[in-house]
Amino acid sequence: MNGKLDRKALPEPVFEVRAFRAPRTPVEEIVAGVFAGVLGVSRIGVDDDFFELGGNSLLATQVVSRVGAALGTRVPVRIVFESPNVAALAVAVEHHTDTDSRAPLVPQPRPDRVPLSLAQQRMWFLNRFDSGSSVDNIPVAVRLTGELDVAALQAAVRDVLARHEVLRTIYPEVDGRPYQQIVSAADAAPDVVAVSVTESDLLSHVGESSRRGSTSPPRFRCGWPCSP
């Protein structure tokens, strides 16, 4: 014996043809559609096994996310491993939906002083120590070709601010307790300043702008070659 497999001694493989059964319930249709989308398969039957079709643990997380979103519930990923085919998973999900459905998200009344989230409290607390620090800045430099329309850029920035309240939220405090105050897009819009610099000095100007702390007024700057 040399440890090698004697392939001639193996029995001939027996192939089994399984009849296709289409989804019969709305939940089975949802599960089959999710399987097809995640695995890139055109047709999924109720007896098809997720892992036999090439699924893995990473793709299983996508399955539970999509199925949960479609049914308005949170589905644990272990259900896919316990019930890997469409029919079994549909039954398991239906049972789970009845016991773990989530309330729909609806708008809530806004108080006069909106409290800070936990993440905002952390950022506010750290900022009290060094309000001039740029440690949380995320600088972005974009190279454009052609003549820059500064007025159009200013209008585009204001449009983004108008659509996203968090970008125009300040954090005043009363008696040492901060709260969120949402200002208008016009008040929050930074000045777009055109600055003519040489190409050799461009990087230093970009670096200087990115190091501005929260005590400095926000500005958008365009450098070489930029025409005001």
Cβ–Cβ contacts within 10 Å for residue 178, how many? 19
199 or 160, which is more confident: 160
101 or 69, which is more confident: 69
Residue 46 · residue 24 · CB < 8 Å? yes
pLDDT digits (tens, 9 = 90+) for 54-66: 899 899 999 999 9
pLDDT digits (tens, 9 = 90+) for 88-110: 999 998 887 545 556 667 888 88
d(CA 81, CA 168) in angstroms, rounded, equals 45
For the domain 118-222, what is the CATH superfamily, name and number?
Chloramphenicol acetyltransferase-like domain (3.30.559.10)
Residue 97 · residue 71 · CB < 8 Å? yes
pLDDT digits (tens, 9 = 90+) for 200-218: 888 888 888 777 765 554 4
Residue 227 — pLDDT band, cuts 50, 70, 90?
Answer: very low
User: Residue 34: what pLDDT?
Assistant: 92
Mean per-residue pLDDT, 6-19? 71
Is the bond into 76 cis (omega within 30 degrees of 0)? no
Amino acid at 40: G
Looking at domain 16-99, its CATH class is: mainly alpha
220 or 157, which is more confident: 157
- 146: CB partners within 8 A, 6+ apart: none
At 173 the three-state DSSP class reads strand
Mean pLDDT, the chain, as a whole number?
82
77 or 195, which is more confident: 77
Domain residue extents for the chain: 16-99, 118-222
The per-residue DSSP string of 24-76 comes to: -SHHHHHHHHHHHHHHT-S---TT-BTTTTT--HHHHHHHHHHHHHHHTB---
